[in-house]
Chain A
Amino acid sequence: MQVREVVASTNWTDVFATNAGAIYQCDAENCWYIDFAGKVARFDYRCLMKLRKAVNNIDIEGLLLDNTKSPDLEIIFICACDDTYVLTLTEIIKFKELLQGTFVMLDLNHIIYNRLYRVAV
């Protein structure tokens, strides 16, 4: 596997942050860095979309109501992405909150971009 050193760069823009983690955008690399669960991981467009889908597909209610003795751990594995998350239920909820906030901010950025630079009238 490719070893990559991630150094906090001044070129990163804060997208969204909660007490549990933060997501930054790197314009130079056209990607996002997710600081969550004790690591900083790089996600390109396709991987971020797949990550959102994977997290949204987790049945949180089902896990909460599950009274079997299996541990409430969920493995989030994204195909063709270097990073995998092994999260507990509370972490999943926090991760979902972080991603939802991020996409709201990215949508907002899209609207601002359209208004400022793209739309003539």
Chain B
Amino acid sequence: MKDIIRIKSLLSTEIETVLNQQIKKEATSSSIYLAMASWCDRNGFDNSADYFFKQAEEERQHQLKFYKYVLDMGGTAISPEVTNIKIEYNSFREVFEDALDQEISVTESIKNIAGRCYKEQDFVTLEFLNWFFKEQREEEYKARRALELFEIIGEQGTGNWEIDKHVGKIHYSSEA
């Protein structure tokens, strides 16, 4: 008897499900960044708005990477529904706090997928995830550095204006 399921798809049902959940997570992440860009723009933080527009685009690319991987491996990629995106923030600082939280939750989520891949010995997906782990190092670094600007510069006086000026200059260049 042929092993039809394996012939048709490399992914197990469980891994396909978690990858689809990750696709939704990346899409949500992209929308959250877009909402942050909107808030920053409305409140006069132009550089931060640009920064979040770029982040939104990056998250969208991550989503597509997962999407195409699921399809390439013979699975069914599901276009996600994204709802309930927060559009108002209490302060400039809160935007960056939420951004770091978002990145941390993405990293944890990918770690969780990798854990399941180990359990199933799905080394193909595991290798695919390696790119994301490296990417998350950069994403978390940038989000953390941005938040640290609030402590270094301070929000008094023209502090927020100064922070906004420096957000666009955050750059990750690790040799590791």
Contact = CB atoms under 8 A, between A and B. Distances in A.
Nearest to A27: B2
B2 A110 contact: no
A15 B5 CA distance: 13
Interface residues of A, number: 13
Interface centre among B2, B4, B76 (most CB of A within 10 A): B4
Interface residues of B, number: 11
A9 interface: no
B2 A106 contact: no
Nearest to B75: A49
Chain B: interface secondary structure? helix
Interface in B10-42: 13
Contacts of B4: 25, 27, 30-31, 45, 106
Nearest to A105: B1
Nearest to A12: B1
A45 B3 contact: no
A13 to B, nearest CB: 5
A46 interface: yes
B8 interface: yes
Interface of A: 13, 15, 25, 27, 30-31, 45-46, 49, 106, 109-110, 113
10 contacts: A27-B2, A30-B2, A30-B4, A45-B8, A49-B13, A49-B76, A106-B4, A110-B6, A113-B3, A113-B6
